[in-house]
Amino acid sequence: MTQIDLRSTQVTPHSAFDLVDCRYVDSLNVRLEYYRHRKTGAEHYHLAADSDENVFMVSLRTMPQDSTGVAHILEHTALCGSEKYPVRDPFFMMTRRSLNTFMNAMTSSDWTAYPFASENTKDYENLLSVYLDAVFFSRLDELDFLQEGHRLEFNQADDASSGLTYKGVVFNEMKGAMSSPVSQLYQAFKSYLFPSNTYHYNSGGDPEHIPDLTYEQLKAFYKTHYHPSNASFFTFGNRPASDIQARMETQALSTFDPLEHRLSVPREKRFSRPLEVTERYPSEGETDGKTYHSIGWLLGESTDLIGQLEAHLLSDLLLDNSASPLRQALENSELGTNPSPLCGLDDSNREMLFMCGLEGSEPEQAEAFEKLVLDTLQSVADQGVEEEHIDAMLHQLELSQREITGDGYPYGLQLIFSVTGAATHGGSVMDALDIDGALDILRQRTREPGYIQSLVKRLLLDNAHRVRLVMRPDNEMKSRQQANEQARLEAIEQTLSDDEKQRILDQAAALKERQEQVDDGDLLPKVTLKDVKPDVKRHSPVKTSPVIAYSAGTNGLAYQQWYWPIPSLTDAERELFPLYTSLLSELGAGELSYLETQQRQAARTGNVNLYSIYKSSLTDTDQLTGYLVFTGKSLDRYFADLTDIMAMHWLDARFDETARVRDYMTLMSSRRLQGVTGSGHGLAMQAASARHSNGSSLIYHGTGLPAIVRLTNWVQQWKEDPTRLEQWLSALQSLHQKMQQQSPHALIIGEQDVLGDMEARLQQSRLTFVEEQTAIDQTLSRLGDDRAVWSTDTNVNFCAAAYSTVPPTHADSPKLTVLAGVLQNNVLHTKIREQGGAYGGGASHDNSNGVFRFYSYRDPRLQETLADFTASLDWVRQGEFSDDQVEQAILGVVSSLDKPGSPAGEVKGAYQNRLFGRTDEFRRQYREGLLSVNKADLIQVANTYFAPDSRTEAIITDSANAEQLAGDGFTWHKLS
């Protein structure tokens, strides 16, 4: 499409829409256009931008009045077939017939959204048609509700005497989500802070209440909520709004009359006095030191932009970094081990809430914890904060407003998410996106004497709508929950007549038949391999010596990275290395303490951090090279400060701050343990892959489950014997000195007109930068188990299996990558998710390390899933798939390869590809290999690389299942 003049506000809507407002947002270089559909009142917000990645999202106000998960289950069920596309799984089928850069759906506390993004014009139009029909003309088949939500089945689906069980994708998803104590903490907090409106309930669904939802209630919720009058449409990119509106009108909006009601969340009634409550969460093992203490306040309306920015500013001043007064008090407190993960402002609801807390405490410390928090706040109210700290937080707000992101979600979608709350709650989307004027007002207010002190008093100290929550562990709670569920099932079974039992059997058979039916894919639109871009995306440096420089549209931000080749390391050094990279920028430097360096970073940078990156040789997966990378970003005007800060950390790191190291490592240990149930499939795949290549073994032992256990053990040892921490720090400092003996080379990224100044300033650094160097080959040994089970606190399972394959240049590598897509699309999705009830499952080929991996996510099953992995390979060997299914898998792979990132992120990725030999020519050849894969190729690789004796397996589950698996030959490891 042609480039558009974003500064011009002369726009013409489709005849079915009225233009309400139009504004150019200079800080984002987008034009925000606000339209309203004449007939239904639906709102359309279009962010016109010079971007080929066009984004669409429709958001509906969904405000449940119970915890049955009705909005969440409806989100799933609506994507299971519609009037125009009467296939049972259009959403997942379109992921295989598309070049999308993003496709998903999600349920928040008071809205449900259906977003997608694509750079391909035809693909965008296809997806728009499917999404509009899915949302506004969903079939809502009862069998889909039973599959996605919940259902009763007999333990043996064809045997009415085998006992009842609950099944359902969302049911198991939420069992997994609510396995986390932090998730339970957040839900409990909201239930007490919001006693009377929709936020009181778990919008995702509480597993104890999900079975209460009926099919009729689901349909009734759909009828009252999924309507254009209750919707906001958001679009981003270079496609004109009028073109999108024409399609919205003809394909959906024209058929609707306006609703007589507008859904909204009422304001919560305010407390006259603070509330003190105690809750429990399921735990295994030792309960000492596992209590969470939290305090939260209900604040003002999130649609009040100035009020929201004030709350953000106060939250950042109190909690942003270790030098912030409240975070400092929490980190240094002996009442617990770490600040709670739930510290800060939540502005996602109609009314904002502010929370802070401690973990690793005891129940009897509740009053002391509350006193610590209130005394700290009172101190800030009495003394205020230094002006430089205020300026630092205002700087962070400006930087976050300017930065063009997109390395996770598409940039346009992130902008859309930033204003979804304003649209949901009747605020100004225009002002929510264009915050420069509000920031100016905030800057002026911060210059007024006593301003911050007044904020602390008004928002927190004088605010009686406050909850103090104690969340304590309970070793018996999980067994009680299981017993209650079983008792409920037994009570139901006792009341079943023979006809009702037969109905459950018939229902299970009908669902299985529906899941296995082959739909006519031609009912859905698609793109083909002819629509694929013919070449890889290329980024070339504008300068390669002595500093490597890339030009990118970074909107006033500057980026730099320093690279050191990683030398040969001992096993002990390799164990330290991931912790060394995490810790270095968190320490003090020179004469500055860690508190002072944190404050200096906040005042002048976006962030600085250290990490390592390893890649295998293109021809030998056991030949590894690696670099240590120090990376940072800042506004252009602070590039010199960024360089000085990075040099200070590298040259003058303080390893004498023993208390800081202990506290930070304790926090890291806790966060990694808490993250297991959210990333269990990835951790299980690491465990299963460890024996298959040196790179996989390095990842597993450096950042996987053994690393979590190792760090937890170290932290415990330091508590018992502080001298062991001194020894550990000495080893860490020696490792740093070893790295300092290497010479770095540098990469800079910025807009063309500032690159020269950036390079000149970098050359004035205290470091000496050299030409790009070749990394050193690493000698490693593979470590891992053939069959491993790891136990932790979880209500669901994560299963994985792995096989050795080939290096990236081997002709079979692209074939194996496509094979993973064919297996996932056509067997694993059905067997593991739809029939097995897991939230997700599939396969992937790690072509860099030469490992083929299977996985399941939040899975109620164990051995059955492992058997499904094996059966899927048999299915391929028998050739029971079509050329069209191969093409769909290729489209999925190419779509993931072509996914755009942020301007800086794309350049960093391109440079690192070149650094490790993944040149544009290699990537082009690999792409051609992918595009040429055929059915015979997949049968060939399925017969070549999957011998049973080369298979390794790994499972993450609870201790009861782990004990059984250990008796079946698995090696049992305990996480906690």
pLDDT digits (tens, 9 = 90+) for 249-259: 999 999 999 99
Kindly state whether residue 308 falls inside one of the protein's structural domains.
yes
* pLDDT value for 802: 98
Q: Within 10 A of 719 (CB to CB), how many other CB atoms are there?
A: 14
Report the distance separating Cα 645 and Cα 629, nearest Å: 15
Domain's final residue, options 426, 446, 474: 474
Q: Are residues 563 and 629 in the same domain?
A: yes
Q: What confidence tens digit (pLDDT) does each residue in 72-131 have?
A: 999 999 999 999 999 988 999 999 899 999 999 999 999 999 999 999 999 999 999 999
Q: Are residues 281 and 409 in the same domain?
A: yes
Q: Are residues 807 and 914 in the same domain?
A: yes
Report the distance separating Cα 30 and Cα 48, nearest Å: 6
Average pLDDT over residues 801-819: 98
Nearest-CA neighbor of 351 among 312, 414, 308?
308
Residue 331's H or E segment, with its range, is helix 325-332
Residue 781 has pLDDT above 80, yes or no: no
* pLDDT value for 284: 84
Helix, strand or coil for residue 649?
Answer: helix
Nearest-CA neighbor of 192 among 299, 292, 277?
277
Give, in order, the Cα–Cα distances in Å from 375 to each of 325, 334, 345, 460, 461. Answer: 11, 15, 20, 12, 10
Report the distance separating Cα 149 and Cα 837, nearest Å: 10
Domain's final residue, options 440, 474, 508: 474
Kindly state whether residue 713 falls inside one of the protein's structural domains.
yes
* pLDDT value for 773: 85
Q: Which residues span the domain enclosing 629? A: 548-679+692-763
Report the distance separating Cα 828 and Cα 840, nearest Å: 9
Q: What's the burial of 208, exposed, middle or buried (CB within 10 Å: 0-12/13-18/19+)? A: middle
Q: Say if residues 708 and 682 touch (Cβ distance below 8 Å).
A: no
Kindly state whether residue 919 falls inside one of the protein's structural domains.
yes
Helix, strand or coil for residue 60?
Answer: strand
Residue 800: band (very low, low, confident or very high) from pLDDT cuts 50, 70, 90: very high
Give, in order, the Cα–Cα distances in Å from 621 to each of 516, 609, 667. Answer: 38, 28, 34
Report the distance separating Cα 880 and Cα 925, nearest Å: 29
Q: Within 10 A of 29 (CB to CB), how many other CB atoms are there?
A: 16
pTM: 0.94
Q: What confidence tens digit (pLDDT) does each residue in 871-900 have?
A: 999 999 999 899 999 999 999 999 999 999
DSSP 8-state secondary structure symbol assigned to residue 653: B
Q: Within 10 A of 204 (CB to CB), how many other CB atoms are there?
A: 24
Q: What share of the chain has pLDDT > 70, as a percent?
A: 100
**Tokens of residue 533, six digits:** 């871009």
CATH number at residue 619: 3.30.830.10
Average pLDDT over residues 921-948: 97
Q: Are residues 701 and 832 in the same domain?
A: no
Q: Are residues 589 and 643 in the same domain?
A: yes
Q: Say if residues 268 and 351 touch (Cβ distance below 8 Å).
A: yes
Kindly state whether residue 842 falls inside one of the protein's structural domains.
yes
**Tokens of residue 726, six digits:** 């001194």
Kindly state whether residue 809 falls inside one of the protein's structural domains.
yes
Q: Say if residues 957 and 845 touch (Cβ distance below 8 Å).
A: no
**Tokens of residue 746, six digits:** 């540098």
Q: Say if residues 127 and 55 touch (Cβ distance below 8 Å).
A: no
**Tokens of residue 33, six digits:** 């256009």
Average pLDDT over residues 281-286: 89
Q: Are residues 470 and 566 in the same domain?
A: no
The separation between CA 585 and the C-alpha centre of its own chain, rounded to angstroms, equals: 24
Q: What confidence tens digit (pLDDT) does each residue in 638-693 have?
A: 999 999 999 999 999 999 999 999 999 999 999 999 999 999 999 999 999 999 99
- What is the full DSSP assignment across 226-275? SSGGGEEEEEEESS-HHHHHHHHHHHTGGG-PPPS----PPPPPPPSS-E
Kindly state whether residue 148 falls inside one of the protein's structural domains.
no
End-to-end C-alpha distance for the chain, whole angstroms: 55
Q: Where are the beta strands (DSSP E) in 342-426?
A: 344-346, 351-361
Q: What's the burial of 337, exposed, middle or buried (CB within 10 Å: 0-12/13-18/19+)? A: buried
Report the distance separating Cα 708 and Cα 65, nearest Å: 40
Q: What's the burial of 963, exposed, middle or buried (CB within 10 Å: 0-12/13-18/19+)? A: middle
Domain's final residue, options 422, 441, 474: 474
Q: Say how many CA atoms lie within 13 Å of 330 toward its Cβ.
A: 33
Residue with tokens 């097995």, as numbered in its chain: 836
Q: Within 10 A of 463 (CB to CB), how many other CB atoms are there?
A: 17
Q: What confidence tens digit (pLDDT) does each residue in 824-851 have?
A: 999 999 999 999 999 999 999 999 999 9
Q: What share of the chain has pLDDT > 90, as a percent?
A: 93
Kindly state whether residue 517 falls inside one of the protein's structural domains.
no
Q: Are residues 696 and 831 in the same domain?
A: no
Q: Are residues 757 and 793 in the same domain?
A: no
Nearest-CA neighbor of 302 among 327, 326, 267?
267
Q: Are residues 744 and 796 in the same domain?
A: no
- What is the full DSSP assignment across 100-160? EEEE--EE-SSEEEEEEEES-HHHHHHHHHHHHHHHHSB---HHHHHHHT-EEEEEETTEE
Q: Are residues 470 and 585 in the same domain?
A: no
H helices then E strands: how many in the chain? Answer: 34, 27
Rg (C-alpha) for the chain, rounded Å, is 28
**Tokens of residue 619, six digits:** 């021809």
Q: Within 10 A of 943 (CB to CB), how many other CB atoms are there?
A: 12
Q: Say if residues 147 and 169 touch (Cβ distance below 8 Å).
A: yes
Q: Are residues 291 and 358 in the same domain?
A: yes
Q: Taking the alpha carbons of 628, 556, 644, 395 in that order, is the dihedral positive or negative?
A: negative
Residue 76's H or E segment, with its range, is helix 70-77
**Tokens of residue 951, six digits:** 């298979």
Q: Count up the domains in the chain and report the number.
A: 3
Give, in order, the Cα–Cα distances in Å from 283 to each of 179, 958, 973. Answer: 10, 11, 18
Give, in order, the Cα–Cα distances in Å from 866 to each of 798, 800, 831, 942, 944. Answer: 11, 7, 11, 17, 20
Q: Say if residues 790 and 973 touch (Cβ distance below 8 Å).
A: yes
* Amino acid identity at 892: G
CA angle 573, 579, 581 (to 5 degrees): 95
Kindly state whether residue 175 falls inside one of the protein's structural domains.
no
Residue 1 has pLDDT above 50, yes or no: no
Report the distance separating Cα 701 and Cα 133, nearest Å: 47
Residue 3 has pLDDT above 80, yes or no: no
Nearest-CA neighbor of 206 among 180, 182, 174, 184?
174
Q: Say if residues 724 and 549 touch (Cβ distance below 8 Å).
A: no
**Tokens of residue 683, six digits:** 């951790």
Contacts of 715 (CB under 8 A, 6+ apart): 662, 665, 666, 669
Mean model confidence pLDDT for the chain: 95
Residue 716's H or E segment, with its range, is helix 705-720
Q: Are residues 431 and 283 in the same domain?
A: yes
* pLDDT value for 2: 52
- Spell 419-458 as b/e; 16+ CB within 10 A means b: bbbbbbbebebbbbbbbeebbeebeebbeeeebbbebbbe
The separation between CA 616 and the C-alpha centre of its own chain, rounded to angstroms, equals: 27
* pLDDT value for 361: 97
Report the distance separating Cα 220 and Cα 599, nearest Å: 53
Q: Within 10 A of 192 (CB to CB), how many other CB atoms are there?
A: 17
Q: Say if residues 42 and 227 touch (Cβ distance below 8 Å).
A: no
Report the distance separating Cα 711 and Cα 580, nearest Å: 12
Q: What's the burial of 540, exposed, middle or buried (CB within 10 Å: 0-12/13-18/19+)? A: exposed
Q: Say if residues 895 and 116 touch (Cβ distance below 8 Å).
A: no
